């Protein structure tokens, strides 16, 4: 049989959206503290997991997750996963925060490859610009009442075809002022559910008030930008001499965005100046463009940032009067991801 199969005709590819869709199945493996081994990978059709209700993954939030993407090349005949090695490493860092065994990089890569490969007909057609979202998840899975690490852990990889999370148009952002996402010496840099669930009530309220995306500042001084609730913070500044600078938030309490670091490398490759540093919130007044960067978000331009307590609204223009640096970065990033541009840094992993 020729691999990959063409995209399934069961999905309306003109309207993929960002939602859960049922596919052929997911990959599972478990780890026991007694054997110190991961079981051979299993491909399971049923999307429901069978785990004990007292699993610490459910009760104490002992879990971490990842997000990465797979895309088809222009002839639709090859599928590449974008930088899965980086997600493997980041998941190892997250696991250590919540006392879980790390998934070895080769197990992670094989599981992701199997999940994408066995669901290949659900990888969207190249021309749609959409990708297959890959969601690896690791959690404490054996029954455990006391607050100590359990004996068994489960690692699963789910996949689903998706468009981009915040859409493709510039978004309005609200700074969250009455909620601290990350404690100064806490777990802000870990991709754990505990950094996402507490945000929901605030991001829902913001959405209802007309803001598509929410932003966090550091909780100790409320001075420096941390990240968006869903993605990393990047900004562009043009100098009168015609130079372009990309500035990336470098707080120690943010999740190390693979998309942001890819965009940083792209900016360097095209001769822009780059700075990875703490960013004062007020600097938003000086930036020409602001972007959110993440696997699900891709690269989304921000058209305004509101801070209600000081009645501040920073606005950014995209279109004719602006060079739209974000588009240069986005087109290059997508060009590499979708196999249209040279993969100078070895970012594409063929399925």
The single-letter DSSP state of residue 297 is: T
Give how far Cα 339 sits from Cα of 296, 300, 329, 343, Å: 19, 21, 15, 8
Cβ of residue 277: shortest distance to ligand COI, in angstroms? 23
The alpha carbon dihedral of 8, 11, 17, 22 has a sign of negative
238, two tokens: 């043009």
**Which residues are bridge partners to 82 per DSSP?**
348
Q: Which is nearer to ligand COI, 83 or 288 (CB)?
A: 83
| Residue 6 DSSP code | P
Q: How far is the CB of 347 from ligand COI (least distance, A)?
A: 16
Question: Which residues here bind ligand COI, judged by CB under 6 A?
Answer: 67, 165, 230, 294-297
Is the distance from CB of 195 to CB of 187 less than 8 angstroms? yes
Residue nearest to ligand COI (CB): 67
β-pair type (225-228, 213-217): antiparallel
DSSP character string of 311-330: TEEEE---STTS--HHHHHH
Q: Which residues pair with 72 in a beta bridge?
A: 79
CB of 237 to ligand COI, least distance (A): 25
For the bound state, the minimum distance from the C-beta of residue 78 to ligand COI, rounded and expressed in Å, comes to: 23
Query: Residue 69 CB, nearest distance to ligand COI (Å)?
Result: 8
Rank residues 179 and 272 by Cβ distance to ligand COI and give the closer one. Answer: 179
* Of 82 and 153, CB closest to ligand COI: 82
Smallest distance from ligand COI to CB 285, Å: 28
Q: Choose between 101 and 232: whose C-beta lies nearer to ligand COI.
A: 232
Residue 338 near residue 74 (C-beta atoms within 8 A): yes
- Comparing CB distances to ligand COI, the nearer of 132 and 142 is 132
- Contact predicate 123/84, CB 8 Å: no
Of 120 and 213, nearer to ligand COI (C-beta) is 213
Check residue 12 and report its DSSP letter: -
Alpha-carbon distances of 130 from 14, 121, 177, 328, rounded to whole Å: 10, 13, 34, 18
Shortest Å distance, C-beta 335 to ligand COI:
20
Q: Give whichever of 231 and 332 is closer to ligand COI, judged by the CB atom.
A: 231
């Amino acid at each position: 049989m020729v691999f990959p199969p063409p995209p399934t005709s069961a999905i309306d590819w003109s309207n993929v959206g960002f939602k859960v869709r049922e596919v052929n199945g997911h990959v599972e493996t478990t780890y026991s503290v007694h054997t110190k081994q991961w079981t051979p990978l299993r491909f399971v059709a049923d999307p429901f997991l069978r785990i004990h209700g007292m699993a610490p993954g459910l009760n104490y939030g002992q879990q971490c997750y990842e997000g990465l993407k797979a895309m088809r090349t222009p002839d639709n005949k090859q599928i590449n996963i974008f930088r899965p090695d980086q997600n493997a490493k980041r998941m190892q860092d997250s696991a250590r925060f919540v006392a879980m065994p790390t998934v070895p990089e080769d197990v992670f890569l094989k599981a992701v490859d199997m999940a994408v490969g066995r669901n290949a007909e659900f990888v969207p057609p190249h021309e749609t610009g959409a990708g297959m979202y890959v969601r690896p998840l690791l959690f404490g899975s054996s029954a455990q009442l006391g607050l100590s690490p359990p004996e068994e852990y489960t690692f699963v990889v789910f996949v689903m075809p998706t468009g981009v999370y915040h859409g493709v148009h510039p978004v309005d952002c609200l700074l969250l002022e009455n909620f601290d996402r990350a404690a100064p010496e806490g777990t802000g840099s870990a991709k754990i559910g505990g950094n996402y669930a507490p945000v929901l009530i605030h991001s829902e309220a913001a959405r209802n008030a007309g803001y598509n995306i929410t932003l966090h500042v550091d909780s100790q001084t409320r001075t420096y930008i941390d990240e968006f609730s869903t993605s990393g913070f990047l900004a562009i500044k043009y100098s009168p001499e015609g130079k372009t600078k990309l500035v990336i938030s470098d707080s120690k309490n943010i999740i190390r965005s693979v998309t942001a670091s890819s965009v940083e490398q792209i900016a360097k490759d095209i001769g822009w100046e780059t700075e990875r540093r703490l960013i004062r919130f007020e600097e938003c007044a000086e930036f020409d463009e602001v972007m959110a960067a993440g696997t699900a978000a891709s690269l989304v331009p921000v058209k305004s940032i509101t801070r209600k307590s000081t009645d501040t609204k920073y606005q950014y223009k995209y279109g004719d009067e602006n060079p739209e640096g974000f588009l240069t970065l986005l087109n290059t990033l997508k060009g590499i991801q979708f196999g249209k541009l040279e993969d100078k840094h070895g970012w594409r992993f063929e399925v």
